[in-house]
Amino acid sequence: MKNCRSLDSIDKRILDAVQRDGRISIVDLAEQVNLSKSPCLQRLRKLERDGFILGYRADLDPQKMEHGHLVYVQVKLESTTRRSLEKFNEAVKNIPEILVCHMLSGGFDYLLKIRTADMAAYRELLGDVISELPCVHQTSSFPVMEEVKDQTALNISL
C-alpha cells in the first residue's frame, strides 16, 4: 500500500540516519537533524506508525555465523496458476536458508538468495528441500565468488 503522506527534509534526514544506525540515540538523532529531543522522538514514532520504518535489526557477519556460502537460484515452476504461485510462496517462507525470494517475469519465475555453511550444505538443501518445493520444474544455481556490494540502505534524496 502506497503511503500518501509526503516527507519533508527533516523526516528524510531522520530516515537516512536511522537506516544507517538503528541504535542511534534520540539525543544524537535530534542533534543530527537539528531538532530538540521531544519533537524528534515524535517524528520518529510517527514515521514508525505510518509504516516508513518497518523495523530495526543487527547486521550479522555471515562468515562468523557459518553462513558464508551465498548462492542465487533461479526457479522455474511447472505452471504459474494462482494456486501454484501461492503454494510455492507459502513453502518458501518456511525455509530459513532462503533469505530473499522475488517473483519475476521473464525466463524464470523466481530468484532466491540463499545462504548456507558451504557447498555441501547447499547441495543437500537443493536436493532435499528446494527441488521438492511445490510446483518446481527447474532450478539454476549461481554460487557467488565474491560479494562486492551488499547494501540495504536506500538512497534518500535530502
Domain ranges of the chain: 9-49, 69-143
Class for domain 69-143, per CATH?
alpha beta
Among 11, 100, 8, smallest CA distance to 49 is for 11
Q: Residue 41 phi/psi, 5° resolution?
A: -65, -40
Provide the residue-wise pLDDT of the chain in tens; the chain has 158 residues.
455 578 999 999 999 999 999 999 999 999 999 999 999 999 999 999 999 999 999 999 999 999 999 999 999 999 999 999 999 999 999 999 999 999 999 999 999 999 999 999 999 999 999 999 999 999 999 999 999 999 989 999 87
The 10 Å Cβ neighbour count of residue 57 is: 8
User: What's the farthest any 2 CA atoms get from each other in the chain?
Assistant: 57
Return the CATH number of the domain spanning residue range 9-49: 1.10.10.10
pTM score, whole prediction: 0.87
